[in-house]
């Protein structure tokens, strides 16, 4: 391979100055995804899918620990089902893909490709819930959904089809359903913090931007390095609107028929986009240890006269780590030099590299290099697994601290339309401002710089950051967080 070909394997664009191009290059060159032949779709490659599976494993375990059962519902939803909840129809109508023919035959009733599954799950919950003893009912499915948006494809952030989980639950009353809503929001927050090394903000959507038909939409938002916000996950308290539309009722302890309260909650592979965008750099992908397909790569460094002992020592280290449950790769490729291997594994995002040469063999040591910052440290070979786990924890902490530092410096305040526009225009990030609660007061910001209200505080009684609405000057009802979004 020529020097030029080797150079082209690496990242050639700037994260700071060409963020979109850089992101696309990292996704493709690190083996996460490719673009599909149809616009708006991607092919998730094995490496990208392995990361998604680890996200799935964490969440799925937590869901099951808190009483959730997995199920699977059809991809297609009859039009008559979709129409039973008018807000769902109106909210998703422009994005629904329709099936009109089966083979050569025109269907009697159009089938929607699911944009979300309330309309197909709720009717079955209505059948399965009879008595108060059937509650709470907690269902979840891992699937793909289709929303036929016209936006430009951005792998994992914006695609017409995307993978996600969607939870749907039914409860006795508002208190039970609200507890469920918050349990899921907190599990999403835990995923971002403990698994993805990414601190989110927690809040709720303004009334005009909540899930169609919901009473309250809670959200966690993650700030990207380019100053835009990502809706990282949402958990909806639906009140009784879906239960009334689909007749989800139960007989209570007093033999009275009562309407259930329902929730729905979801996290999509947009989390993967946030992960890649936040941690990766101009050497390529950076993955936190909990999600990396390989947590450790071992690179042996030998000359011909010591090759055998270096490889033997390296293989022993790999075997011991593997035995301890560490995901480890021994790169003993003969035809690649150590420098190429370093670059190759850095591009793929492996959090920790162990370098082993004749000195390490002689002194019974290992040299560890951290992916995020290249810091190296030489440690004793004894207590190998514990040493490696400590270093993986340090890598996670470094990634979290860097993301936290980005977030903390990017929440500013403004008291007027001009200040909101100027601050977001100059710095990006979040701008907190007093807001009267009227959707019309979001429009001047949206029109001028395509920023919007991404969230308001969870606590409805929290005092606004300023007394007056920054846009119209009327009395502020709450604090609005304005930001540009993905």
Strands 328-330 and 257-259: unpaired
- 376 vs 370: CA distance, rounded Å: 6
Cβ distance 223 to 407 under 8 Å?
yes
Q: What pLDDT does 40 receive?
A: 94
Q: For the domain bounded by 296-394, which CATH number is listed?
A: 3.40.50.800
CATH 3.30.110.30 matches 411-484: yes
> Do the beta carbons of residue 188 and residue 232 sit within 8 Å?
yes
Would you state the pLDDT for residue 131? 97
Cα 80 versus chain centre, distance: 32
- Give the pLDDT of residue 273: 98
Pairing of strands 430-435, 411-413: parallel
Contacts 24+ apart (CB under 8 A), 407-410: 407/199, 407/201, 407/223, 410/223, 410/227
Give the largest Cα separation in the chain, rounded. Answer: 86
pLDDT at 83: 87
154 in Cβ contact with 33 (< 8 Å): no
Q: Which among 75, 95, 92 has a CA at the least distance from the CA of 83? A: 92
| Chain centroid, CA 200 distance in Å | 11
Question: How many residues are there in the chain?
Answer: 486
Across the beta sheet with 261-268, the strand order is 69-70, 137-146, 161-171, 261-268, 229-239, 216-223, 201-204
| Spatial distance between the Cα atoms of 231 and 204, rounded to a whole number of angstroms | 11
CATH topology of domain 12-279: BirA Bifunctional Protein; domain 2 (3.30.930)
Instruction: Give pLDDT, residue 84.
Output: 86
Equal CATH topology for 12-279 and 296-394: no
- What are the backbone dihedrals phi and psi of residue 229, each rounded to the nearest 5 degrees, phi first? -100, 145
* Cα dihedral value 183, 189, 190, 195, nearest 10: 150
Angle 96-102-107 (CA atoms, 0-180°, nearest 5)? Answer: 70
Q: Give the residue extent of every domain in the chain.
A: 12-279, 296-394, 411-484
Confirm whether pTM is higher than 0.85. Answer: yes
Rounded Cα distance between 229 and 205, Å, is: 13
Do residues 177 and 429 touch, judged by C-beta distance below 8 A?
no
> Nearest 10 degrees: CA dihedral of 49, 51, 57, 59?
-110
**Starting from the edge strand earliest in sequence, which strands make up the sheet with 451-455, in order?**
411-413, 430-435, 478-484, 451-455
What pLDDT does 9 receive?
67
CB 203 within 8 A of CB 481: yes
- pLDDT tens for the chain, residues 1 to 486: 444 444 466 899 999 999 999 999 999 999 999 999 999 999 999 999 999 999 999 999 999 999 999 999 999 999 999 888 777 777 778 899 999 999 999 999 999 999 999 999 999 999 999 999 999 999 999 999 999 987 788 999 999 999 999 999 999 999 999 999 999 999 999 999 999 999 999 999 999 999 988 999 999 999 999 999 999 999 999 999 999 999 999 999 999 999 999 999 999 999 999 999 999 999 999 999 999 999 999 999 999 999 999 999 999 999 999 999 999 999 999 999 999 999 999 999 999 999 999 999 999 999 999 999 999 999 999 999 999 999 999 999 999 999 999 899 899 999 999 999 999 999 999 999 999 999 999 999 999 999 999 999 999 999 999 999 999 999 999 999 999 999
Report residue 133 as tokens.
């003893």
- Confidence at residue 92, expressed as pLDDT on a 0 to 100 scale: 79
């Amino acid at each position: 391979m020529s020097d030029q070909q080797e150079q082209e394997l690496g990242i050639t664009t700037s994260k700071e100055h060409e963020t979109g191009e850089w992101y696309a290059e990292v996704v493709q060159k690190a083996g996460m995804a490719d673009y599909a032949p149809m616009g708006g779709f991607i092919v998730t490659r094995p490496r990208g899918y392995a990361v998604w599976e680890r996200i799935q494993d964490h969440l799925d375990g937590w869901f099951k620990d808190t009483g959730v059962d997995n199920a699977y519902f059809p991809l297609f939803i009859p039009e008559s089902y979709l129409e039973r909840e008018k807000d769902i129809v109106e909210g998703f109508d422009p994005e629904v893909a329709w099936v009109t023919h089966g083979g050569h035959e025109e269907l009697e009733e159009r089938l929607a490709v699911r944009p979300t599954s309330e309309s197909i799950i709720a009717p079955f919950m209505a059948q399965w819930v009879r008595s108060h003893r059937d509650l709470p009912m907690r269902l979840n499915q891992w699937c793909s959904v289709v929303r036929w948006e016209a936006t430009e494809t951005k792998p994992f952030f914006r695609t017409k089809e995307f993978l996600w989980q969607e939870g749907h639950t039914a409860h006795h009353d508002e208190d039970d359903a609200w507890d469920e809503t918050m349990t899921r929001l907190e599990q999403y927050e835990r995923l971002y913090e403990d698994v993805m090394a990414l601190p989110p903000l927690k809040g709720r959507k303004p009334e005009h931007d909540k899930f169609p038909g919901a009473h309250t939409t809670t959200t966690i938002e993650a700030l990207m390095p380019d100053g835009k916000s990502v809706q990282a996950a949402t958990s909806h308290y639906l009140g009784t609107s879906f239960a009334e539309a689909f007749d989800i009722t139960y007989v209570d302890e007093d033999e009275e028929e009562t309407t259930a309260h329902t929730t729905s909650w979801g996290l999509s592979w947009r989390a993967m986009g946030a992960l890649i965008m936040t941690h990766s750099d101009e050497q390529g992908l950076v993955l936190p240890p909990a999600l990396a397909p390989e947590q450790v790569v071992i690179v042996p460094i030998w000359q011909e006269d010591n090759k055998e002992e270096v490889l033997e020592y390296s293989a022993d280290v790999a075997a011991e780590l593997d035995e301890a449950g560490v995901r480890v790769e021994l790169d003993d490729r003969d035809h690649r030099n150590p420098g190429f291997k370093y670059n190759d594994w850095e591009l793929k995002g492996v959090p920790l590299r162990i370098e082993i040469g004749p000195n390490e063999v002689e002194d019974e040591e290992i040299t560890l290099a951290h992916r995020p910052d290249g810091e190296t440290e030489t440690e004793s070979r004894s207590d190998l697994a514990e040493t490696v786990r400590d270093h993986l924890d340090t890598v996670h902490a470094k990634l979290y601290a860097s993301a936290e530092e980005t977030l903390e410096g990017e929440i500013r305040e403004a008291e007027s339309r001009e200040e909101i526009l100027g601050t977001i225009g100059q710095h990006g990030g979040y701008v907190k401002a007093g807001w009267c609660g009227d959707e019309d007061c979001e429009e001047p910001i949206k029109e001028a710089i395509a920023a919007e209200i991404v969230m308001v505080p969870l606590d409805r009684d929290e005092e606004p950051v300023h007394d007056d609405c920054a846009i119209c000057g009327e009395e502020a009802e709450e604090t609005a967080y304005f930001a540009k979004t993905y």
